[in-house]
């Protein structure tokens, strides 16, 4: 049984109640807690030493990343973060200054978005530092952007640039909170999620959640980051930059679907509001399941890892 | 710098905002999210293999404990749990059936209290299983019972029996949710918290939060559990049962302070409502700081570990 199969089995039969608008399976849970105008978003996310950061990573960047990941999920719903809880697993020998630096990075990001850090707890994780962050956010009633609303013919957009995040962006990225909220308020977006595990794989989740649709992507339209190109240059063994843009994890950009007639007004509005942030129309939603990449050589199926299938 | 000093330093300068009624430093955070009648409670808590449970502990009991600990904190505020998020750190080689059993125990407890499990996430923690649980709850506006409201002269009560939890209760305890809510609704309670790190130490936190008050405890009134006595019998090296009742962790009972004139009506009401749950008046709040134990031999200061100081 793979981890994915395990998660599928576990989430198939979770207890629920009348407060739940959306449970497991989206970027955040959506709850209805009786506030007249708003719904509540809830997300938890962990970073682990040796997996999401290294022992020598500057601790302020680790703290930034730990919170930014969860904020990116709030952004992906079009929400506003309100409060965060931090759960720390400390190695037996820990350097207090390292933890204080970590909090400095985390608190600085929290303060920038008016997120209150309302507590948490500390326990022991003997071999490695563990930081688990829970974020509570709000979204105007009915405005939360789910993964499940994409429609056949929708135009697909992605913010920023993709690939090569490991060269630095994964530690320093800014969660797309302003952009996510603007998109939700625009009323033009059918479905949205954040790109955390690679565009090809994450888009696959959005298509599955939207009822088993597919997508055609245009290779020439993919916003390949300079880091993805740099990474490809560094070694002959690296994957090509385009594959990196389709498959590298930790981009923390937003991918979303809008009705075709809304694509141009949305792009115009975006350029006026976020002139410094690239927004790319990368393809369209199709009735035929699966993801395909259109290049100068034709159109071919993509796998979840962003590689083209050659038949 | 000790872990306690670190936490004090970290929590001294956390970002806050207008949504926060109570941040770090109580059993739960209390938030004001715009619901007319209720406030929101938020708590996160983790259990770690080798620390809070053993590799051979039945996984359903581990799942029960992981959720019950956080529910105990909701109980300590007088709240009602609504939703939970689970963050799992899986060792490299994990047994899927172990995780499914863990969820079975967790889900069973969640269903008993109508708590929705609304998602979470899975990552790798190579050496040991890690389970982090976040619980969101609600409490009628202004009814949350904080640690900080105790007054000089208040009678001190504790639910259930104390000590020896490691013999089994730490895995199987029932969070005192019905009792906590009943106490909050009674309007008679000044301050409350759950006893998770030993009565002497936790009561010390309540007294500090209430402005540096103290307490006199009556040794003969302490509800010493049969497990604490059994543990003391098992080995000459064990601490005496009374010390265990004052210091053993993971009791997950509630300790609370009520005005002296309310003590008898509260006890009467309790016996009618919870005839099967022991409630003990164990002492009183004093203006003089520190905790003292009154025995047949006189009155002596107690340290945080529940041992008496002999001068």
B194 and B111 fall within a common domain = no
Whether chain B has a CB inside 8 Å of the CB on A234: the answer is no
Residue B262 domain-assigned (yes or no): yes
Domain interval for residue A68: 3-140
pLDDT in tens, B290-305: 999 999 999 999 987 7
**CATH number of the domain bearing residue A31:** 3.30.1330.10
Question: Quick one: pLDDT at residue A132?
Answer: 96
Interface test with B, best of A5, A7, A12, A14 (most B CBs within 10 A): A14
Would you state the pLDDT for residue B77? Answer: 98
* Phi, psi torsion values for A114, nearest 5 degrees: 55, 40
Q: How close is the nearest chain A Cα to the Cα of B14, in Å?
A: 6
Q: Distance between CA A44 and CA A31 in Å, rounded?
A: 14
Q: Does any CB of chain B come closer than 8 Å to the CB of residue A13?
A: yes
Question: How much is the pLDDT for B144?
Answer: 98
* Residue B108: count of CB within 10 angstroms of its CB: 14
Last residue of a domain, one of A95, A114, A140: A140
Chain B nearest-CA residue for A131: B132
Q: Are residue A197 and residue A266 in the same domain, yes or no?
A: yes
A218 domain-assigned: yes
ipTM of the complex: 0.94
- pLDDT at position A311 is 47
Q: What pLDDT, in 10s, does the model give residues B197-254?
A: 999 999 999 999 999 999 999 999 999 999 999 999 988 777 899 999 999 999 999 9
Does B126 lie in the same domain as B14?
yes
Residue B309 has what pLDDT?
A: 66
Among candidates A23, A50, A121 on the partner chain, residue whose Cβ is nearest the Cβ of B119: A23
| A contacts of B26 (beta carbons < 8 Å) | 119
Q: Which residues contact A262 (CB under 8 A, 6 or more apart)?
A: A155, A188
Q: Which two tokens stand for residue A76?
A: 């992906």
Alpha carbon A126 to chain centroid distance?
30
SS3 A116: strand
Tell me whether residues B11 and A119 touch, CB distance under 8 A. Answer: yes
The full length of chain A comes to 311
Q: For chain B, say whether A275 makes contact (Cβ under 8 Å).
A: no
**Residues 30..59 of B with a Cβ closer than 8 Å to A: which?**
31, 33-38, 40, 42-48, 50-52
Give CA–CA dist A52/A46, Å, rounded.
9
Q: Coil, strand or helix: which one is A26? A: coil
Cβ of residue B110 closer than 8 Å to a chain A Cβ: yes
- Nearest-by-Cβ selection for A10 from B15, B103, B123: B103
Contacts of B122 in chain A (CB under 8 A): 3, 6-7
The chain A residue lying nearest B22, using CA atoms, is A118
In a domain, B127, yes or no: yes
Does residue B135 contact residue B197 with C-beta atoms inside 8 Å? Answer: no
> Is B226 part of a structural domain of the chain?
yes
Burial B217-227, CB ≥16 within 10 A → b, else e: bbbeebbbbeb
One-letter-per-residue 3-state SS of A28-56: CEEECCCCCCEEEEEEEEEEEECCCECCC
User: Does residue B121 sit in the same domain as residue B164?
Assistant: no
User: Is residue A149 in a domain?
Assistant: no
Task: Please report the pLDDT score of residue B81 as a whole number.
Answer: 98
pLDDT of residue A147: 97
- Nearest residue on chain B to A110, alpha-carbon basis: B15
The whole-number pLDDT of residue A39 equals 98
Buried b (16+ CB within 10 A) or exposed e, B123-153: bbbeebbbbbbbbbbbbeeebbbbbbbbbee
Same domain, B284 and B161: yes
* Tokens of residue B130, six digits: 């890690």
Query: From the DSSP assignment, how many helices (H) and strands (E) are in chain A?
Result: 9, 13
Q: Smallest Cβ distance to B33: which of A17, A35, A52?
A: A35
A-chain CB neighbours of B9 within 8 Å are 96, 100
Q: Where are the alpha helices (DSSP H) in chain B?
A: 3-11, 59-76, 96-112, 169-172, 177-186, 199-209, 226-234, 241-247, 263-273
Pair (B161, B298) in one structural domain? yes
Residue in A with minimal Cα distance to B108: A15
Q: Any bridge partners for residue B194, and if so which?
A: B254
* Tens digits of residue pLDDT in B126-177: 999 999 999 999 999 999 999 999 999 999 999 999 999 999 999 999 999 9
With a pLDDT cut of 70, the percent of chain B lying above it is 99
Domain total in chain A: 2
Please identify which residue in the block is written with the tokens 């190109």.
A229
pLDDT at A8: 87
Asked if A73 and A100 sit in the same domain, the reply is yes
Q: From residue B147, how far is each of A123, A156, B25, B190, B254 by CA, in Å? A: 22, 51, 9, 8, 11
Q: What is the DSSP letter of B311?
A: -
Specify the pLDDT at position B74: 98
Put simply, the answer to whether B117 touches A33 (Cβ < 8 Å) is no
Tell me which of B93, B113, B140 is where a domain ends: B140
Domain stops at, among A93, A116, A140 = A140
Same-domain status, B165 and B114: no
CATH of the domain at B197: 3.90.650.10
CB contact under 8 A, A117 and B35: no
Residue of chain A whose Cα is closest to the Cα of B125: A48
Is position B294 within any domain? yes
User: Within this chain, do residues A96 and A167 fall inside the same structural domain, yes or no?
Assistant: no
Closest CA to A282 of A224, A241, A225, A221: A221
Q: Do A23 and B85 touch (CB under 8 A)?
A: no
Place of tokens 């089994």: B168
pLDDT (tens place) for every residue of chain A, 311 residues total: 777 788 888 998 899 999 999 999 999 999 999 999 999 999 999 999 999 999 999 999 999 999 999 999 999 999 999 999 999 999 988 899 999 999 999 999 999 999 999 998 999 999 999 999 999 999 999 999 999 999 999 999 999 999 999 999 999 999 999 999 999 999 999 999 999 999 999 999 999 999 999 999 999 999 999 999 999 998 877 789 999 999 999 999 999 999 999 999 999 999 999 999 999 999 999 999 999 999 999 999 998 777 776 54
Q: Mark yes or no for CB contact B20/A116 under 8 Å.
A: yes
Q: Does residue A115 sit at the B interface (CB-CB below 8 Å)?
A: yes
Contact yes or no for B125 and A121 at CB 8 A: no
A33-37, A181-185, B64-68, B181-185: segment of lowest average pLDDT? A33-37
Whether residues B128 and B192 share a domain: the answer is no
How many Å apart are CA B109 and CA B162, to the nearest integer?
A: 22
Q: Is the pLDDT of residue B310 over 70?
A: no
Put simply, whether B12 touches A (Cβ < 8 Å) is no
Query: Are A298 and A168 within one domain?
Result: yes
A108 versus B9: which is more confidently predicted?
A108
The number of beta carbons lying within 10 Å of the beta carbon of residue B308 is 18
CA pair distance B130, B93, nearest whole angstrom: 13
Residue A292 Cα, gap to closest chain B Cα (Å)? 29
Residues A287 and A185 reside in one and the same domain: yes
Report the alpha-carbon distance of residue B183 to residue B181 in Å, rounded: 5
Is any Cβ of chain B less than 8 angstroms from the Cβ of A128?
yes
**Whose CA is closest to A189, among A139, A142, A286, A258?**
A258
Residue A95 touches partner B, C-beta closer than 8 Å: no
What is the β-pairing status of strands A116-124 and A80-90? parallel
User: Which residues, including other chains, have CB under 8 Å from residue A166's CB and lie 6 or more apart?
Assistant: A231, A248, A250
For residue A243, count other CB atoms closer than 10 A to its CB. 21
**Is there a domain that residue A150 lies in?**
no
Go through A75-109 and write b for each residue having 16 or more CB atoms within 10 A of its CB, e for each that does not.
bbbbbbbbbbbbbbbbbeebeeebbbbbbebbbeb
C-alpha atoms less than 13 angstroms from C-alpha of A148 in its C-beta half-sphere? 10
> Taking Cα atoms as reference points, which of A280, A211, A205, A285 lies closest to residue A245?
A280
Dihedral, CA of residue A30, residue A33, residue A34 and residue A39, to nearest 10: -30
User: How many Å apart are CA A64 and CA A57, to the nearest integer?
Assistant: 12
Residue listed under structure tokens 């540096």: B212
Helix orientation angle between B96-112 and A3-11, rounded to the nearest 10 degrees? 20
**Residue B93 forms contact with A (CB below 8 Å):** no
Distance CA B106, CA B116 (A): 11
**Cβ separation of A24 and B119 shorter than 8 Å?**
yes
* The two three-digit tokens of residue A160, written as one number: 């920023």
Q: In chain B, which among 189-208 make CB contacts under 8 A with chain A? A: none
Task: List the structure tokens of A91.
Answer: 């190695």
In this prediction, residue B311 carries a pLDDT of 47
Q: Do B82 and A118 touch (CB under 8 A)?
A: no
Whether residue A95 is contained in a domain is answered as yes
Cβ separation of A134 and B85 shorter than 8 Å? yes
Kindly list the residues from chain A whose CB atom is less than 8 angstroms away from the CB atom of residue B14: 107, 116-119
Per-residue pLDDT at A303: 82
Residue B272 sits at the chain A interface (C-beta within 8 Å): no
Phi, psi for A150 (deg, rounded to 5): -65, 145
| SS3 of residue B19 by DSSP | coil
């Amino acid at each position: 049984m793979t981890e994915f199969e395990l998660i599928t089995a576990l989430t198939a039969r979770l207890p629920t109640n009348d407060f739940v608008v959306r449970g497991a399976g989206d970027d955040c849970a959506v709850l209805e807690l009786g506030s007249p105008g708003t719904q509540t978003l809830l997300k938890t996310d962990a970073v682990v030493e040796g997996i999401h950061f290294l022992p020598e990573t500057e601790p302020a960047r680790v703290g930034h990343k730990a919170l930014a990941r969860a904020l990116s999920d709030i952004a992906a719903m079009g929400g506003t973060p309100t409060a965060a809880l931090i759960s720390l697993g400390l190695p037996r020998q820990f350097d207090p200054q390292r933890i204080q630096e970590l909090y400095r990075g985390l608190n600085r990001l929290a303060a920038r978005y008016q997120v209150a850090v309302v507590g948490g707890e500390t326990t022991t994780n003997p071999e490695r530092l563990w930081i688990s962050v829970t974020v509570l956010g709000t979204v105007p009633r009915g405005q939360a952007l789910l993964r499940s609303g994409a429609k056949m013919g929708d135009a697909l957009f992605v913010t920023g640039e993709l690939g090569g995040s490991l060269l630095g962006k994964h530690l320093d990225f800014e969660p797309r909170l302003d952009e996510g909220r603007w998109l939700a308020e625009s009323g033009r977006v059918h479905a949205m999620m954040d790109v955390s595990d690679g565009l090809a794989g994450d888009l696959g989740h959005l298509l599955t959640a939207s009822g088993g649709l597919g997508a055609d992507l245009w290779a020439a339209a993919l916003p390949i980051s300079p880091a993805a190109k740099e990474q490809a240059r560094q070694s002959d063994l690296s994957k090509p930059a385009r594959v990196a843009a389709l498959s590298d994890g930790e981009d923390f950009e937003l991918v979303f679907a809008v009705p075709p007639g809304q694509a141009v007004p949305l792009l115009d509005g975006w350029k006026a509001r976020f002139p410094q942030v690239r927004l790319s129309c990368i393809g369209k939603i199709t009735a035929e399941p699966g993801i395909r990449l259109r290049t100068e050589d034709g159109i071919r199926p993509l796998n979840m890892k962003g590689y083209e299938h050659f038949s």
